[in-house]
Structure 1
Amino acid sequence: MDWQPLLPQRFKLAEGPFWDQETQALYWVDIAGFKACRLRGEHYQEWQLDRPCSAFVPTTRGDALVTLPDGVFRLDLDSPPERPALELFCVADPDPGNRGNEARCDAQGRLWLGTMQNNLDAQGGDVAIDRHSGGLFRIDPDGSVSRHASDLGIANTLVWSAADNHVISADTLKDTLYRYPLDASGNLGEPTVWAGPHERGSPDGSAIDSEGCVWNARWDGNCLLRFSPEGELLEIVELPVQRPTSCVFGGPDLRTLYVTSAAADGVLDGALLTATAPVAGMPCHRFAG
């Protein structure tokens, strides 16, 4: 695959790419740079926040949700980039020492949020992680919150099977991707190991393609790993960045793969990368509220 930087900007910790098919817009965040970013055509916008932002998800009512350490907030997309207008929507994780990390919506438009111990200081610098205090939470359109997993190190990856009967999610500190059964009411069962440790880095965010295969970004692994629906490694997709953080399929035909990355020592580290994929992806879902 021919990887190219989409923008000249380099980010501290770009994460959480979301493709909005309706507006043909790409949303993502710079967690350590405290930014919510959007690209529509050639028009790039960023809203500068004052604390880490781990996800930026548009809603069906026209604004967006951003996940901050003190809660999930609505962001008015018409507000000035230097003065973003925020309104508290809910507090998902009650632990004040945690922050959001991964977040994606299911087909019903419910936001699933994975959390972790806050590992960033007031300037976005690194803080050591010394506890497994994260969890998985479901936020319904009415703002109600339910917890579905506890005692996670770094919750990453949230992708749903084509049959919508299980969720794949990772704990990066355990170098493992797990399969959670999912019932008709949207409740998770006990997880089983879906894909264990691999020499090419640790599991970060993922996307799922139209064949049910999972493309997993590998932190410190310079690659994506493509797994079959059963968790068998099919392919190693090399990348020109050391720390890819997540990926998403986009474009009119969902055949463009976007990859976010974190700052490191290479020329492209911290870039937002793009390439044409050999297979189409599955669409992202807006928050239904």
Structure 2
Amino acid sequence: MTESIAYHGEGPVWSAAWGGLRWLDMLAGDVLSLAPDHTVARRHIATVVAAVRPRRRGGAVLGVTRGFALEDPDGKVTILNPLWSDERIRMNEGGCDPDGRFYCGSMAYDGRQGAGSVHRLDPDGSTTIVLDEVTVSNGLEWSPDGDRAYYVDTATGRIDVFDYDRAGGLSGRRPFAVVPDGPDGVTVDAEGGVWVALYGGGSVHRYAPDGTLDEVVELPVTKVTACTFGGPELDRLFITTSREHLEPGTEPEAGALFTCTPGVRGVPVREYAG
């Protein structure tokens, strides 16, 4: 759908509030946005920009290098205080729960086992560690009814599922599906199907609500990073890709944004309440 415009494309999100699709060139620290004529705008935010979601009041909430940032409705971005000082650790991926709290998980640049955590930003600005000793914290998304959350720590080779309620948060972690070739970002459709990008598998897999594989979308590149539903009817699947660690001249479409129409619809993006 686009040319190879990102080194490490990630985190696509569709919101009518900001006019359509945004995604990330994560390791460049840039937010990309897609215009109706398919031109792409690029805005630099920080050394790393790891996740973005709309705010109910307008603007956006972001995961950045070592913490969170807030974009006001007028576009001004404020970087909040860092959550840690270790420059070997960075944020990686995140999402919002049904109660408007924003989560982002971290990882070591060298992929060191257990170095990451999942942090939550509440609407009042307070932060909490909700999961620790993770290795490559990746996709996090809730079921359509909001009572389950699907989560990927890529190093485990699977998608896990949690029970969720506002008071208890995430609990009862258990395996949902074993995923080959590096599970990465996830999204959930209106029927409860869980879609996961395979970083190293050149595809997106859909798992039915019972955890069985029931659809595969093949891509012409190896490093598929994340996906989301978008378009006015939420019936298009947007897929980000990366050319991280690829040799120059190989996989010329790596880093492009792809799209397809898989025959199911997504659910509206959950917004940050702060």
Q: Same fold (TM over 0.5)?
A: yes
The equivalent residue for 2:271 is 286
Residues 76 and 278 of structure 1: CA distance in aligned 2, closer, same or farther (over 3 Å): same
The equivalent residue for 1:82 is none
The equivalent residue for 1:70 is 66
Residues 144 and 94 of structure 1: CA distance in aligned 2, closer, same or farther (over 3 Å): farther
Matched ranges for 1:121-200 at <5 A: 128-185=110-167, 187-198=169-180
Between stretches 148-157 and 16-25, larger displacement belongs to 16-25
The equivalent residue for 2:215 is 235
Q: What runs of 5+ residues in structure 1 fail to find an aligned partner?
A: 80-84, 120-127
Paired residues of 1:92 and 1:139 also in contact (CA < 8 A): no
Q: Give the Cα separation in 2 of the matches to 1:196 and 1:181.
A: 18
Residues 166 and 94 of structure 1: CA distance in aligned 2, closer, same or farther (over 3 Å): farther
- Percent of aligned pairs with the same amino acid: 31
Please provide the CA RMSD for this pair. 2.0
| Residue identity matched to 1:159 | E
Q: What runs of 5+ residues in structure 2 fail to find an aligned partner?
A: none
The equivalent residue for 2:7 is 12
Q: Which ranges of 4 or more aligned residues in structure 1 deviate by more than 4 Å?
A: 76-79, 90-96
Q: What is the Cα deviation at residue 275 of structure 1?
A: 1.4
TM-score by length of 1: 0.86
Q: Give the Cα separation in 1 of the matches to 2:81 and 2:55.
A: 15
Q: Give the Cα separation in 1 of the matches to 2:166 and 2:44.
A: 39
Paired residues of 2:31 and 2:49 also in contact (CA < 8 A): yes
Matched ranges for 1:193-232 at <5 A: 193-198=175-180, 201-232=181-212
Identify the match of residue 108 of structure 1 among 99, 105, 115.
Answer: 99
Query: Does the alignment pair 1:53 with 2:49?
Result: yes
| Residue identity matched to 1:235 | E
The equivalent residue for 1:89 is 80
TM-score by length of 2: 0.90
Deviations 1:87-140 (A, max 9, x none): 1335456755321111111222211111111x1xxxxxxxx3223211222211
| Residue identity matched to 1:266 | E
Q: Give the Cα separation in 1 of the matches to 2:86 and 2:164.
A: 25
Residues 99 and 54 of structure 1: CA distance in aligned 2, closer, same or farther (over 3 Å): same
Q: Give the Cα separation in 2 of the matches to 1:191 and 1:227.
A: 18
